[in-house]
């Protein structure tokens, strides 16, 4: 190893996780012990788990908020919460679930799994990965500081003006929401950028784009989608903050346009719906076939349908605004696209059904969650199809029918898939299986609780119950249904509680999993469980989509090379490959652990704290400190081969 090495003919070493090579890689890649090492870790597995755990904490908090206001709504004329408290609580519930749980949990799975399924050793930008996690965490804390100060968002999660404008909402509530969202938007955008680069540049040799796991198709699609969608909402919130604090006139009449908020919000908001479900769908497409003991039916169709859904998702935002008095031609066009998008969504659905039909299903908890997911997916899809039609939407908009629809979509398409994925990948992450007996109870309580809790909302909606009301009079015909809804929500919460019990129980007592407990086909199962810090002792070379099933499926003359490959041990190194064919084209140097991402995230958060209280000296100081940290971060380093030695 010389410091002036410009090119290298890679060696080839055997795969042996007990070899001196493995201990050398362990030394190179392992996070240093102690609190400083922990805070500075850039290991994608470590960061992925932090994302997942943090997102689950937000899920529990958001769930508790819902349980509180479900007591209020269980009977008519309740006054447990004042209207103002109710407004904050339901707004926080929506914001927490949609923004701080639903996407970050999928990001967590992607951060953990993508380098493993792609056959590489880390994300393309490991320090950026650590940074995006910290910013995500701090943005959530920022929002909850608002709640602690009694200034939580109170205009619903989509925060329409003029109600969110300063004359009608003078506190800092909306400002906390706006700035927390901008902070989170930074994290989401940079995280997506990291996924795009990782997936297009670091796949194992031979993993051409048509051999990429369907899991990566989901993450790649929504990450590209985020790059184009996120600026819209960030800008919408920035305009709102300027309007509220600096007297600009973006949204306030006569010269401003209140409807601009809805456009900018939903131009992000509808793509976002697909952003928070497509990776979940692709987790099902990845794991369900393993449990059916066969490859996914219609890989190409599912991959293309995933991309098409995302593309169409950019052309349907107006269906959230059917009741705002838009021209008929716009209504007709957006209604047509909204109905058309059912087709690519249904492709995945039929692919799963065909996979189950033609496979030999293993009826375990993960499988149950995936099947439950499919059932709920269809119900949520149909109610979405109904509201995609303009006349139906005019009846249903702002009623509980829409609340039912959004929960069938978000819980059904996201949470059930995440639960199944947790049962499926937990053994890889921790080396132990989740308990099956508790798992069955977990599933049935959640599935029954969910349907009892949310299906009746369709009916209360059809009976005319408006959403967002803090209480309602009796004699409207809504009483019994609302009591049933509250009971259902508590049953579902009990199921969720069992999941947490199961996690803590199985971490200690679970059955030891081994590298591949499900006898699955993809690369992550060729590593030990949990995987070592360097993931792969030698880089595998692929010849198919299902490297671990090749002998069994016997689809072609070529077999993947998993037993030997490049060791890449002259430092923290990974292989860069071409985007379509995955031919090796560069050996990349990866950065060491670093505290700079944490400090930079802290400085950024402090800057946002300065903005809300208008401490301009703090803002200026933070900008200076941030630029200094950027200079340290980006200073060309010879060990990363960014400058002449």
Least Å distance, CB 339 to other proteins, is: 25
Q: Does 494 bind other proteins (CB under 8 A)?
A: no
- Binding range to other proteins, per CB under 8 A, among 65-73, 163-171, 293-301, 539-547: 539-547
Q: How far apart are CA 122 and CA 43, in angstroms?
A: 7
CA angle 277, 179, 101 (to 5 degrees): 25
| Residue 195: strand, helix, or coil | helix
Binding residue for other proteins, selected from 20, 325, 551, 617, defined by CB under 8 A = 551
Per-residue binding string, other proteins, 2-31, x by CB under 8 A, is ---xxxxxx-x-------------------
Q: How far apart are CA 565 and CA 491, in angstroms?
A: 51
Q: Does 476 bind other proteins (CB under 8 A)?
A: no
Cβ closest to other proteins, residue 226 vs residue 516: 226
Binding residue for other proteins, selected from 250, 272, 426, 499, defined by CB under 8 A = 250
Helix boundaries (H) for 397-530: 400-407, 416-430, 436-462, 479-509
Query: For residues 252-281, which are near other proteins according to CB under 8 A?
Result: 254-257, 260, 263-264, 267
Q: Does 171 bind other proteins (CB under 8 A)?
A: no
Query: For residues 128-167, which are near other proteins according to CB under 8 A?
Result: 128
- Binding range to other proteins, per CB under 8 A, among 192-200, 352-360, 452-460, 487-495: 192-200
Please give the radius of gyration of the chain, using alpha carbons only, rounded to the nearest integer.
25
Burial of 214 (0-12, 13-18, 19+ CB in 10 A): buried
Least Å distance, CB 559 to other proteins, is: 5
Q: Does 552 bind other proteins (CB under 8 A)?
A: no
Cβ closest to other proteins, residue 162 vs residue 576: 576
The dihedrals phi and psi of 576, each to the nearest 5 degrees, come to -95, 135
Residue written as token pair 């349980």:
67
| Residue 620: strand, helix, or coil | helix
Residue written as token pair 């031979």:
206
Least Å distance, CB 8 to other proteins, is: 6
Q: How far apart are CA 168 and CA 176, in angstroms?
A: 16
Cβ closest to other proteins, residue 313 vs residue 565: 565
One-character DSSP codes across 147-173: HHTT----STTTT-TTTTSGGG--SSH
- Cα separations (Å) of 133 from 44, 384, 598? 10, 32, 9
CA angle 488, 489, 491 (to 5 degrees): 65
Query: For residues 454-473, which are near other proteins according to CB under 8 A?
Result: none
Least Å distance, CB 15 to other proteins, is: 11
Q: Does 328 bind other proteins (CB under 8 A)?
A: no
CB 643, CB 636: distance < 8 Å: yes
- Binding range to other proteins, per CB under 8 A, among 289-297, 466-474, 581-589, 596-604: 581-589
Binding residue for other proteins, selected from 91, 132, 216, 232, defined by CB under 8 A = 232
50's tokens = 């932090």
Binding residue for other proteins, selected from 326, 530, 589, 615, defined by CB under 8 A = 589
Least Å distance, CB 81 to other proteins, is: 37
- Binding range to other proteins, per CB under 8 A, among 153-161, 175-183, 245-253, 452-460: 245-253
408's tokens = 């069938």
Q: Does 189 bind other proteins (CB under 8 A)?
A: yes
Q: How far apart are CA 296 and CA 546, in angstroms?
A: 10
Q: How far apart are CA 234 and CA 186, in angstroms?
A: 8
Query: First-to-last CA distance in the chain?
Result: 14
Cβ closest to other proteins, residue 261 vs residue 401: 261
Least Å distance, CB 361 to other proteins, is: 29
Q: Does 440 bind other proteins (CB under 8 A)?
A: no
Q: How far apart are CA 553 and CA 90, in angstroms?
A: 51
Binding residue for other proteins, selected from 76, 171, 231, 361, defined by CB under 8 A = 231
Least Å distance, CB 443 to other proteins, is: 39
Query: For residues 87-126, which are near other proteins according to CB under 8 A?
Result: 124-125
Binding residue for other proteins, selected from 36, 476, 586, 613, defined by CB under 8 A = 586
Q: Does 559 bind other proteins (CB under 8 A)?
A: yes
């Amino acid at each position: 190893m010389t410091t002036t090495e410009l090119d290298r003919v890679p060696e080839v070493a055997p795969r042996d996780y007990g070899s001196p090579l493995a201990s050398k890689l362990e030394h190179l890649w392992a996070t240093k012990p102690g609190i400083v090492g922990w805070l500075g870790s850039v290991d994608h597995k470590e960061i992925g788990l932090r994302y997942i755990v943090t997102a689950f904490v937000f899920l529990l908090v958001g769930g508790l908020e819902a349980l509180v206001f479900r007591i209020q709504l269980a009977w008519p004329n309740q006054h447990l919460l004042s209207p103002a408290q109710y407004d904050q609580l339901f707004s926080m519930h929506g914001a927490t679930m949609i923004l701080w749980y639903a996407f970050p949990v999928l990001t967590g799975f992607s951060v953990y799994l993508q380098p493993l399924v792609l056959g590489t050793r880390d994300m393309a930008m490991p320090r950026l990965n650590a940074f995006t996690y910290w910013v995500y965490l701090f943005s959530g804390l920022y929002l909850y500081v608002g709640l602690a100060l009694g200034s939580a968002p109170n205009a619903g999660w989509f925060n329409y003006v003029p109600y969110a404008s300063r004359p009608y909402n003078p506190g800092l509530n909306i400002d906390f929401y706006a700035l927390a969202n901008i902070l989170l938007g930074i994290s989401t955008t940079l995280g997506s950028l990291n996924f795009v680069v990782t997936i297009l540049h670091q796949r194992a040799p031979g993993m051409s784009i048509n051999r990429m796991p369907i899991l990566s198709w989901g993450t790649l699609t929504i990450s590209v989608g985020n790059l184009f969608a996120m600026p819209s909402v960030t800008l919408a919130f920035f305009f709102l903050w300027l309007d509220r604090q600096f007297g600009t006139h973006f949204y306030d009449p006569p010269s401003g346009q209140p409807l601009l908020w809805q456009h900018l919000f939903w131009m992000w908001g509808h793509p976002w719906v697909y952003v928070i479900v497509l990776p979940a769908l692709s987790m099902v497409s990845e794991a369900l076939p393993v449990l059916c003991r066969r490859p996914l039916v219609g890989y190409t169709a599912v991959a293309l349908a995933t991309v098409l859904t995302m593309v169409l998702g950019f052309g349907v935002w107006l269906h959230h605004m059917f009741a705002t008095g838009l021209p008929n031609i716009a209504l007709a066009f957006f209604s047509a696209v909204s109905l058309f998008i059912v087709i690519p969504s249904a492709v995945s659905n039929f692919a799963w059904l065909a996979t189950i039909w033609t496979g030999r299903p293993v009826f375990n908890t993960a499988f149950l969650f995936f099947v439950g997911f499919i059932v709920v997916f269809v119900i949520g899809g149909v109610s979405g199809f109904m509201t995609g039609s303009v006349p139906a939407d005019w009846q249903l908009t702002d009623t509980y029918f829409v609340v039912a629809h959004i929960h069938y979509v978000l819980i059904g398409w996201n949470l059930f898939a995440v639960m199944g994925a947790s049962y499926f990948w937990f053994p890889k992450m921790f080396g132990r299986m989740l308990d099956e007996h508790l798992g069955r109870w977990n599933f049935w309580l959640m599935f029954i609780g969910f349907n009892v809790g949310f299906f009746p909302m369709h009916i209360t909606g059809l009976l005319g119950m408006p959403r967002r009301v803090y209480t309602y009079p009796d004699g409207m015909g809504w009483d019994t249904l609302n009591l049933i809804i509250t009971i259902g929500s508590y049953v579902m919460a009990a199921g969720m509680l069992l999941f947490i019990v199961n996690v803590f129980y199985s971490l200690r007592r679970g059955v030891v999993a081994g590298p591949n407990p499900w006898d699955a086909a993809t690369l992550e199962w060729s590593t030990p469980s949990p995987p070592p810090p360097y993931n792969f002792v030698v880089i595998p070379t692929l010849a198919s989509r299902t490297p671990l099933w090749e002998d069994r499926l016997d689809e072609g003359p070529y077999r993947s090379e998993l037993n030997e490959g490049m060791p890449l041990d002259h430092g923290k190194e990974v292989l860069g490959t071409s985007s379509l064919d995955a031919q090796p084209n560069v050996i990349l140097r990866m950065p060491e652990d670093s505290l700079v991402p944490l400090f930079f995230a802290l400085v950024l958060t402090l800057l946002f704290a300065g903005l809300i209280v208008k401490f301009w000296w703090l803002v200026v100081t933070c900008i200076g400190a941030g630029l200094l940290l950027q200079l340290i971060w980006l200073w060309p380093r010879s060990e990363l081969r960014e400058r002449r030695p």
